[in-house]
Amino acid sequence: MKSTKDIHFAFRQTIPVMLGYIFLGTAFGLMLNDAGYHFLWAFLISTVVYAGSMQFVMVVLLSGGAGLLYTAMMTLFINGRHIFYGLSLVEKFKKMGKSYPYMIFSLTDETYSVLCRTKIPSDRNENKVMLYISLLNHSYWVLGSVIGGLAGQWIGFNTTGIEFSMTALFTAIVVEQWQEKSNRLSIFIGGFSAIFFLLVLGPDRFIMPTLMLSVFVILLMKKYRMPGEEERND
């Protein structure tokens, strides 16, 4: 019974992600089908790769016959941000025993956002709630991908511009964080860093430098923060 309550609690936290992931997964499935791949590939890629925006890029790479090294480098540049913000959850994940590897694998931008903002009541099992959140979000993405793959086989779609759906989801997450956070300085730091490196390095190379500078500045500010200020602003 307690486990069921943990699942219900986790599900309620993931409803916004469910709405976004099913739509985005469907967009990915449609793109993959448009590239000539069976819907089973959508299921396998979303289950085993589960890389969000990288999966959209993967469709282009698969269609263009990109090499393994190039694909690996693109993956690092696009999803390397997970290394930075994932560090803040490593200690929690280590306490989850056998679930530890899966929690690392399943950490996406949206799952990270939900895990960070969710205040788990004392009568809920924290480790199980975190695991259920990750599992549910993963299942939404897989479900959407299969729906898109099947729909693409049965119904003709013009997929031009559909990859913008991922950008739309990121924008919605930023707006939500802006509304919830009392201290928005980190958002300004990330925003100005992104604009600076976008102008200097261009759209293909700005992500990793932006993340490195943002994390460095935030950690530096955290280190020299006045006593008691952290409790007020976090």
- In order, the DSSP letters of 53-88 are HHHHHHHHHHHHT--HHHHHHHHHHHHTHHHHHHGG
Q: Which two tokens stand for residue 141?
A: 């993405």
Instruction: State residue 182's pLDDT score.
Output: 58
Residues (pLDDT < 70) of the chain are 1-2, 156-170, 172-174, 176-177, 179-183, 204, 208, 222-234
Residues 6+ apart with CB under 8 A from 9: 120, 121, 124, 129
Rounded to two decimals, the pTM is: 0.72
Domains of the chain, residue spans:
2-159, 181-234
Residue 226's region, left for phi above 0, alpha for psi from -120 to 50, else beta, is beta
> Distance between CA 67 and CA 73 in Å, rounded?
10
**pLDDT tens sequence across 11-69:** 999 998 998 899 889 989 988 888 888 899 999 999 999 988 788 888 878 877 777 88
Instruction: State residue 170's pLDDT score.
Output: 64
